[in-house]
Amino acid sequence: MKRSGHRTIFHIYLIFFLSLLVTVLLAGFFFFLMISVQTPGGRSVRSDWPKVFTEDFKDQIIFIDDMPQVKQSGLMLLQENGVGIQIIDGSGKVVFRYQEPEQASEAYSSTELLQLVLAGKSAEGKTTAFSGVAFDAEKEYAYLLYFPVNVSKVTMYVNGERFAGGKAIMIPVLLVLFLLVLISGILYGFFTTKAMKRLTTAIHEISARSYLPVQEQGVFHDLYDSLNTLDAEIRTSDHLRAQTEKTREEWIANITHDLKTPLSPIKGYAEILQETDGGDREHRRHYADVMLKNVSYMEKLIEDLKLTYQLENGMLPIHRENKNIVRFLKELVIDILNTPEYETRSIHFESEEETVLFPFDQMLFTRAFRNLIINAFVHGEEHTEITVSILASQTALKIKVTDNGKGMNEEAARHLFDRYYRGTNTEQKPEGTGLGLAIAKGIIDLHGGTISVSSIPTVGTAFQIEFLLS
């Protein structure tokens, strides 16, 4: 861990140092751009090149018959560098010109000449003008050189004593500043490395489930708040996974028991038929009825398991048809009451509309609503009555299945639709598979609806199904 920390310090310091170096190089580069210009020939020269060129050019001016002229070598210099020239006599009149700009004047007053020399710009500011003086005997001539570059003249006045002394302390000051930057970079590297090590340790503790929430008030408090939230969510997820796994194991144990239960009488009666001649016809019929009943139960259990798996994994095909939901539920109620097992029971049907069209899969809806109604009969008393009501509007279709049975507590109602949950009331073992309500919810969800339950012990239970109509 120490090696890793040292490497981290080195990397942070290296990044800091390189950033500083790049900043200095960029500053130097921009400074170079400010103090350099490019000649027409493509050469990069210092920005004071026009001034030096102007001062040296006076050697290229000669006088013939008291008139100023430019040597051939001077003309070649002017031509190579794209520089224009005007030579002006004492009265301000131009007496010699070569490659002068179009906007240059034919004559200058003292004021105009002074402004041009001070400004260093021609009238339109496209060239830079520098001036010099040439002498012939007692005559004095001024000459202006026009350079095809943009150079600004900057003049600054400083305190001479302080400036001279400042040069002596400038290097030590810069050295001290450099050392301060160097030391601060190292200290920052140590601080950042320590913080990173703490964060790395916290992440390892979260993965090992040994993390203790930290109330950090420093620079990284937002990051620690996020780690605290992450740890809380992981612990909640672990608890939910453990609870789900426990419920799944209990459900598998119950399903295994349910599968073994019908096999016992089938096996027993099969052995009786094998060991004896089966007795009289009446006994054989009784044995066959018991075996067929248990086989039917096993088939229903296996079918419910298959349907549950298909609903959970989105593998169940749906064939929706636009039909009258009122007529469908009426016929389903009649079919249930025509079953010998439930022919003495009571189911009330309520609907203000005779026709309510809704797209649904008839086979799946039969399974879902039959499960809801049969569930109320199975878990209720002999006198339990059920009411099926339909309420339709332009925006929603609501179907309620209520009963006046035993009801249930809040804990049972909250887990009623869980696939791996089984109620705690085991006083009697119903004939169902324990998957009916989970299947009903899955089918309703598949049709884009919602189902909810409310129940009061000893009063009854109400299931409300709602579908939004587009």
What is the per-residue DSSP string for 266-325? HHHHHHHHHHS---SHHHHHHHHHHHHHHHHHHHHHHHHHHHHHHHHTT------EEEEH
Computed from CA positions of residues 217, 220, 225, 228, in that sequence, does the dihedral angle turn out positive or negative? negative
Q: Which residue has the higher pLDDT, 237 or 195?
A: 237
pLDDT at 106: 84
Long-range contacts made by residues 116-121, C-beta under 8 angstroms, separation at least 24? 116/144, 117/144, 120/151, 120/152, 120/153
Average pLDDT, the chain: 80
In 3D space, the residue among 418, 431, 422 whose CA is nearest the CA of residue 261 turns out to be: 431
pLDDT at 4: 47
First to last CA, the chain: 63
- Reduced to 3 states (helix: H, G, I; strand: E, B; else coil), residue 464 is strand
Q: Tokens 């299947």 sit at which residue?
A: 439
Tens digits of per-residue pLDDT, 1-49?
Answer: 444 455 555 666 667 677 777 777 777 776 676 677 777 767 777 878 8
Q: Which residues does 82 contact at the CB level (< 8 Å), separation at least 6? A: 39, 40, 99, 147, 148
SS3 content of the chain, % helix, strand, coil (to 5): 55, 20, 30
Strand order of the sheet with strand 385-392? 346-351, 385-392, 396-403, 460-468, 450-456
Q: Which H/E stretch holds residue 330?
A: helix 325-337
Tens digits of per-residue pLDDT, 421-434?
Answer: 555 444 444 455 56
pLDDT over 70, % of the chain = 81
Tens digits of per-residue pLDDT, 58-74?
Answer: 888 888 888 889 899 98
Domains of the chain and any CATH numbers? 2-36+157-203 (no CATH), 48-147 (3.30.450), 222-311 (1.10.287.130), 318-468 (3.30.565.10)
Q: What are phi and psi of 31, to 5 degrees?
A: -65, -40
**Single-letter code of the amino acid located at 60:** Q
pLDDT at 421: 57
CA distance 412 to 179: 73
pLDDT at 379: 86
Q: Is 430 exposed, middle or buried (0-12, 13-18, 19+ CB in 10 A)?
A: middle
Residue 378 has pLDDT above 80, yes or no: yes
Tens digits of per-residue pLDDT, 196-210?
Answer: 888 888 888 888 888
Tens digits of per-residue pLDDT, 340-377?
Answer: 889 999 999 999 999 999 999 999 999 999 999 998 99
Tens digits of per-residue pLDDT, 84-129?
Answer: 888 888 888 888 988 888 878 888 888 887 777 777 765 555 667 8
Instruction: Tell me the whole-structure pTM to 2 decimals.
Output: 0.46
